[in-house]
Amino acid sequence: MTTDTAKQEDAMSTATTPTRAPHSDVPTGHKPAEGRVGAGLFDPKQLLKSLPDAFRKLDPRVMIKSPVMFVVLVGSVLTTVFSFKDPTDWFGWTISAWLWLTVVFANLAEAVAEGRGKAQADTLRRAKTDTMARRMTGDAEEHVPGTELRIGDLVVCEAGDVIPGDGDVVEGVASVDESAITGESAPVIRESGGDRSAVTGGTKVLSDRVVIKITTKPGETFIDRMINLVEGAARQRTPNEIALNILLASLTIVFLLAVATLPPFAGYAGTHLTMVVLVALLVCLIPTTIGALLSAIGIAGMDRLVQRNVLAMSGRAVEAAGDVSTLLLDKTGTITLGNRQAAAFVPVEGATEAEVADAAQLSSLADETPEGRSVVVLAKERYGLRERVQGELSGAEWIAFTAQTRMSGVDVDGRKVRKGAAGSVIAWVREQGGTVAEDAGTLSDRISEAGGTPLLVAVEDAEGARILGVVHLKDVVKEGMRERFEELRRMGIRTVMITGDNPLTARAIAEEAGVDDFLAEATPEDKMALIKREQAGGKLVAMTGDGTNDAPALAQADVGVAMNTGTSAAKEAGNMVDLDSDPTKLIEIVEIGKQLLITRGALTTFSIANDVAKYFAIIPALFAAVYPGLDKLNIMGLSSPDSAILSAVVFNALIIIALVPLSLKGVRYRPVSADRMLRRNLTVYGLGGLIAPFIGIKLIDLLISLIPGIG
């Protein structure tokens, strides 16, 4: 977040671009609702809620979106019609019933996945209220319904008011309750003039007074968009999903043509294949398993992000996260803890630590940043210096920090004290006619090489202008970051740390954290250029951002994750919004994206392997009586042609139900190389997909063979 703290911290290294300050209002201890992920179809309440939707989806206009299941629906209708011709045909009615169940089970998988989003949408609807707004017209205020607000309107909100629409705080600072959106009860701070200015309609002001500039039209607010997205109303099929649908449709057409050629062959061989048998054969041969689960897998992927308080604006973004090969991460607050603290006072030759501590504390009294306060505290604790207050220093002239001067200080009692970036302080000393200690630059470089930030402390008094020493600001790398980056490396993802620090400091932090590369003294233009270079090399790039100056890079990145605490411009530019405003969540997002792709690939492999096994169940049983040689292919030893067909149809329906929890929960992702992942996929899901039908169909056949008239 680019607060004044961030600006000062960053400008110590460069006068152009701020680094992010710590996320003071990032919720801690928030855990995703993972407990409900695996409940899937076997949650009775969810099942009952989703069942009506499953039947409503039998509408052909809905089913046509899935070519495979549309063919199954048509087949169900045909077998039902032909069964009416002979009401005593128990076999025909049984096949029809299981085909209808196959369609319903497929719809139920999608309905269960959508049901989770609808539960979230209901919560959001409760947060979305029609409120009265205090709109400013000149110096006066008028009370108008929130639905009448337009982009650019200014509204006033005080403690207890519900914010009437999305906007940016343009005046004041307030504590805001966003629990309706984020699920976190801890309030957050929203203020003007920084990158924590965005507010969301439906949230509540807890303290103080703010003026908000409305940035969205009624009905297009953030909550409205969230409701549409989590309900699935705005979900669009991703490129990979579309491509897989085309492949499945092509396979369906191929098998449809193949089955259409069987009646002439059967007639030539002296046997007869009924329409019920042909439809059952077609349904068993086409890839119904993955066709039934494909939509549910995509919806569940977005749902897993929602459970982690990340709102994906499109399924394309989730899918792109799975293919990301370059990850851009801010240093401050992401890789490091963010709050740089004074760790030591290092004097130059001829000065003492006590002199440096006294001058540093004096120059920091008006500095309310975490860094400034840490200087005051360190001087008090380590050197026993009393924490003076500004009021005690009569006649003092405080020098505020600016991005241009890159230093701050105070003029008091005939002394001038300055603290700031090395280059700026050295230039100030020379302007005052003083001399620069020879070891000042060496000490600064040593601290930078160690990953710290050096702040030079200088004074001008009766002895002239001179540098006293260096304040060592230390930023700590978060625990476990090196291991996380090692995992990403095994996933084939290159990590790049973005920072406004000088190259020496950036290199030290990068080595300690274990990132692959870094970009120091980064400006918004530098970020854009880096993203474009990576994309020109055929790579997909993900990054996080929160400020207006991050918006161009977020829009350019393939996966742009905007922080909820950030500006409206950043949230509009990104294709994901992290409601917890935790930049490290980008790593989880990539893992969820990869899990989505792996789940889709694994179940596709399983489905195709299933179909291959079903060929051995049905084809030999159909023609063994005419061509006895085919009986050798009847590996399962199925009792009769009717039993073989019915067993395959029943297994075809039941396997969809069995795989619904896996499609919703997702295949467990492990950070391994692509070739190892492929081998594991083929071994577990390919071989498993071949073996499962042999066992399942045989067991069903044994049960069916006990039924009189079938066995």
Structure tokens at 693: 């039908």
Q: Is 411 annotated as a binding residue?
A: no
Q: What is the DSSP letter of 514?
A: T
Q: How far apart (Å, rounded) are the C-alpha atoms in residues 58 and 103?
A: 8
CB atoms within 10 A of CB 463: 8
Query: In which region does residue 79 sit, left (phi positive, over 0), alpha (psi from -120 to 50) or beta (all else)?
Result: alpha
Q: Is 405 annotated as a binding residue?
A: yes
Q: How far apart (Å, rounded) are the C-alpha atoms in residues 408 and 427?
A: 14
Structure tokens at 277: 């048998």
Pick the catalytic residue from 10, 25, 166, 330.
330
Q: Is 238 annotated as a binding residue?
A: no
- Angle made by CA atoms 683, 687, 693, in degrees to the nearest 5: 155
355 Cβ contact partners less than 8 Å away, ≥ 6 residues apart: 347, 468, 469
3-state secondary structure (DSSP) of residue 318: helix
C-alpha 233: how far from chain center: 19
Q: How far apart (Å, rounded) are the C-alpha atoms in residues 263 and 248?
A: 24
- Comparing C-alpha atoms, which of 25, 61, 74 is closest to residue 579? 25
Maximum Cα interatomic distance, the chain, rounded to a whole number of Å: 118
Q: Is 407 annotated as a binding residue?
A: yes
What DSSP assignment string belongs to 24-70?
TT--SS----GGGTTTGGG-HHHHHHHHHHHHHTTSHHHHTTSHHHH
CB 592, CB 672: distance < 8 Å: no
- Comparing C-alpha atoms, which of 401, 399, 415, 413 is closest to residue 465? 415
- What b/e readout covers 190-226, taking b as 16+ CB neighbours within 10 angstroms? bbbebbbbbbbbbbbbeebebbbbbbbebeebbbbbb
3-state secondary structure (DSSP) of residue 416: strand
Q: How far apart (Å, rounded) are the C-alpha atoms in residues 96 and 662?
A: 27
Q: Is 668 annotated as a binding residue?
A: no
Count of CA atoms in the C-beta half-sphere (13 A) of 9 = 32
Cα–Cα separations (whole angstroms), residue 527 to 172, 186, 281, 343, 564: 31, 33, 56, 31, 21
Q: How far apart (Å, rounded) are the C-alpha atoms in residues 558 and 535?
A: 9
Q: Is 224 annotated as a binding residue?
A: no
Residue 330 is among the residues annotated as catalytic for this protein: yes
Q: How far apart (Å, rounded) are the C-alpha atoms in residues 707 and 195?
A: 71
- Comparing C-alpha atoms, which of 601, 540, 39, 613 is closest to residue 293? 601
The length of the chain, given as a count of residues? 711
CB atoms within 10 A of CB 86: 13
Give the position of tokens 């250029």: 529
Q: Is 404 annotated as a binding residue?
A: yes
Q: How far apart (Å, rounded) are the C-alpha atoms in residues 46 and 25?
A: 34
Q: Is 494 annotated as a binding residue?
A: no
303 Cβ contact partners less than 8 Å away, ≥ 6 residues apart: 113, 116, 117, 230, 664
Q: How far apart (Å, rounded) are the C-alpha atoms in residues 232 and 213?
A: 30
**Secondary structure of 616-633 as H, E, C letters:** HHHHHHHHCCCCHHHHHH
Q: Is 406 annotated as a binding residue?
A: yes
212 Cβ contact partners less than 8 Å away, ≥ 6 residues apart: 154, 155, 156, 157, 163, 165, 167, 168, 169, 170, 199
Residues forming the annotated binding site?
367, 371, 401-408, 419, 546, 550
* Binding-site entries for Mg(2+): 546, 550
By annotation, the residues acting in catalysis are 330
- Indicate the annotated binding residues for ATP: 367, 371, 401-408, 419
